[in-house]
Chain A
Amino acid sequence: MARSQALEVQEKKELVSKEEKTVPARYYVPTTDIYETEDALTLVMEIPGVDKQAVDVNIENDVLRVEARVNFSKYEGLEPLYTEYNIGYFARSFTLSNKIDQQQIKAQLDDGVLTLSLKKAKEALLRRIAIN
């Protein structure tokens, strides 16, 4: 059996946004995979510590924006002794090159991983032309 690769820590990237935040809290960029299939574009983002209700996804002018607010209430009464990572809200936006059917965006959150499935709009789908 092949030994699987040992995981390494990926240091969280702080968000450097073009639009400035009005709040001074730190934001992080979620680690993201993006892949495309024939009829959909899928984004997979890691947002540990975020509840389902605290995720906002919107598309405006072909820009997909995701904001996820980490639930930090559980840290109440906890005094840090030793830390290796920080927490904060997550935010990231992408300019979409495909036309997306906004009515058909599916979102799912499992184990801190958000999967966004964006169905392509009909006109963006590849049409196969049969040659006579």
Chain B
Amino acid sequence: MAILSDPFDALIQLQQALDTYRTSSWLGSGLSSGGAYPPLNVFRKGDDIVVIIEVPGVRKADLQIQVKGNTIRIAGAKSVQYGDNAALHRREREAGSFDRAITVPVEIDVDQVTAESHDGMLTLFLPRAERDKPKLITVG
């Protein structure tokens, strides 16, 4: 055990892991057209798939998620507003609409898909379909 347990260790390890899977081929041709916004990360949690998407400034009401088969469509719009009579000094945030879809290479249980949004992060839980789960074979 390290003498000083560093709270940053976990973050650094996570940052390195996220780097390693940058544009991995896991999704393969599952990345359909429709632009690259919003950026998403795909994780495995046990048998299931979790997709975490960064959408700061997009209100829940402006998000639309659709699931069909193993394809998930994420669409919406983001608006950026300034008050009246405001003098703009710096403008980096962008407004606009988005519509993208991904197809995951596993079968998902469409009825059990859930989505939540907190602090500008949209999380999709995609449970793997029971029939798609690997079966354990005992060697006789």
Which residues of A are in contact with B by a Cβ distance under 8 Å? 3-10, 23-26, 31-38, 42, 44, 46-51, 71-72, 74-75, 77-89, 109, 111-113
| Contact indicator B83/A35 (Cβ below 8 Å) | yes
**Chain B residues, CB < 8 A from A82:** 21, 23-24, 26-27, 41-42
| Contact indicator B83/A84 (Cβ below 8 Å) | no
User: Chain B contact residues (Cβ within 8 angstroms of A): what range?
Assistant: 35 or more
Q: Does B124 interact with chain A (Cβ within 8 Å)?
A: no
Restricting to B10-35, which residues have a CB under 8 Å from any CB of A? 10-12, 14-15, 17-24, 26-27, 35
| Contact indicator A78/B85 (Cβ below 8 Å) | no
Q: Considering residues A9, A42, A82, A89, which has the most beta carbons from chain B within 10 angstroms of its beta carbon? A: A82
User: CB within 8 A of A35: which of B14, B86, B117?
Assistant: B86
Q: Does B73 interact with chain A (Cβ within 8 Å)?
A: no
A120 to B118, CA, bound (A): 32
| Contact indicator A6/B98 (Cβ below 8 Å) | yes
| Contact indicator A4/B96 (Cβ below 8 Å) | yes
Q: Does B111 interact with chain A (Cβ within 8 Å)?
A: no
| Contact indicator B21/A83 (Cβ below 8 Å) | yes
Q: Mark interface residues in B47-86 (1 if CB within 8 Å of A CB, else 0).
A: 0011000111111100000000000000001101011011
A44 to B39, CA, bound (A): 21
A93 to B88, CA, bound (A): 18
| Contact indicator A42/B86 (Cβ below 8 Å) | yes
B8 smallest CB distance to A (angstroms): 5
Contact A5 B95, CB 8 Å, known A75-B14, A82-B21: yes
**Chain A residues, CB < 8 A from B45:** 77-79
User: CB within 8 A of B56: which of A23, A46, A89?
Assistant: A46
Contact A86 B120, CB 8 Å, known A31-B93, A81-B26: no
| Contact indicator A34/B57 (Cβ below 8 Å) | no
A67 smallest CB distance to B (angstroms): 14
> Across chains A and B, which 9 residue pairs bring their CB atoms closest together, nearest first?
A112-B120, A112-B56, A48-B120, A78-B43, A7-B96, A46-B56, A5-B96, A34-B90, A35-B86
